[in-house]
Amino acid sequence: MTEFTSDVKTIPYDDGDIFRVLSDMNNLEWVKDQLPEDKISGFTFDRDGFSFHVEPIGVVTFLIVTREPNKFVKFQSQNLPFEAHCWIQLVQKEEKDTKMKVTFKADINPFLRSMVSKPIQQAVDKIAETLAALPYSRIGESR
């Protein structure tokens, strides 16, 4: 398995607020308009996962397979030409001070790895950056 890891991001919210949002993908529906659609498009979200269209693969889905309250959310891929998992890990250091890291592990053959490593790392970094900037106290409260 090849591992791609984001830098650790600091989020100025409690881990409970962050977990509440990230454990229900419906809460991220509003961010899809902020995502660049030059390589990935057609984002859809539901409680247990999200899907998007990527050329030349087609529709890729990530489903939540484990929710550990206030600690992590783990996803497993579907429709990729290789097995892949993604984790969003949370560690609260102090009140309103939570560290977050995104990890993506994939069983990529060596030939394909040389072509996809850079875009995957960039995607992991962008996901972490986007998640770190969300206003967690205002998302999903009206549900």
Q: Does the pLDDT of residue 36 top 70, yes or no?
A: no
Residue 136 confidence class, pLDDT cut points 50, 70, 90: very high
**What average pLDDT does the structure give for the chain?**
90
Contact 70, 82 (CB under 8 A): no
CATH number of 2-137: 3.30.530.20
Could you state, in order of their start, the residue ranges of all structural domains in the chain? 2-137
In this prediction, residues 1-15 reach a mean pLDDT of 97
Q: What distance separates the 2 farthest-apart alpha carbons in the chain?
A: 47
In this prediction, residues 53-62 reach a mean pLDDT of 84
Q: Does the pLDDT of residue 95 top 90, yes or no?
A: yes
